[in-house]
Copies of this chain bind each other. A is one copy, B any other.
Amino acid sequence: MQELKDRILKDGVVKPGNILKVDKFLNHQIDVTLLDHVGEAFKERFSDKPINKILTIEASGIGIACIVAQHFGTPVVFAKKNRSTNISDQVYKSTVMSYTQNKNYDIMVSGEFLSPEDHILVVDDFLATGHALEGLIEIIAQAGATLEGIGIVVEKGFQEGGKKIREQGIQLESLAIVEDMSSGEIVFR
């Protein structure tokens, strides 16, 4: 998606430790017009799938998922982090290893919001190691729902997450794939 790549080149900031900050338009300040075009792009790429729910993970995935959901005419469900207060109800749970924060955290989705009837599009801002996505995939499996595909705004192509997911035969659509930024300059695949 050229508009997104142009924006990353203009406003993205490469930080030490393979960190790409896109705080100006995605992770802190959010350009909702850009997100609308992101939603349009995902709708095009998953137009043949019977998607009835968008699944994401808090916090920065929520805004993207809401605007994407408008294009699919579906509700959003977001996985919550680190909530153990709901354990008396039925919940789907998974543990995620965070690369940027270097610790594990739990994600959960209440049993009422995912079922075997659901056809899920997973949406998130970033894909790097793929650990967060693996957690969501596990939760979808626990619910017996169908994963129809994964839509990512920015994939770090030099980390292993995208490869691992594509090898499972999942339709993974990343709107911008950063192949290299080790010199501080961003190169797309």
A29 near B77 (CB under 8 angstroms)? Answer: yes
A28-B78, A29-B112 given; 11 more Cβ-contact pairs under 8 Å: A28-B77, A28-B109, A29-B76, A30-B65, A30-B69, A30-B78, A32-B75, A59-B59, A59-B78, A62-B62, A62-B66
Q: A31 to B171: give the CA distance in the assembly, Å.
A: 25
Residue in B25, B31, B63, B75 whose beta carbon sits within 8 Å of that of A62 in the complex: B63
Contact partners of A113 in chain B: CB under 8 A: 23-24, 28-29
Chain A: residues with Cβ within 8 Å of the partner, total of: 30
Residue in B24, B28, B70 whose beta carbon sits within 8 Å of that of A32 in the complex: B70
20 contacts between A and B (CB under 8 A): A23-B113, A24-B112, A25-B75, A28-B109, A28-B110, A28-B113, A29-B75, A29-B112, A29-B113, A30-B66, A31-B75, A32-B66, A36-B70, A58-B59, A59-B78, A60-B62, A62-B63, A62-B66, A63-B66, A63-B78
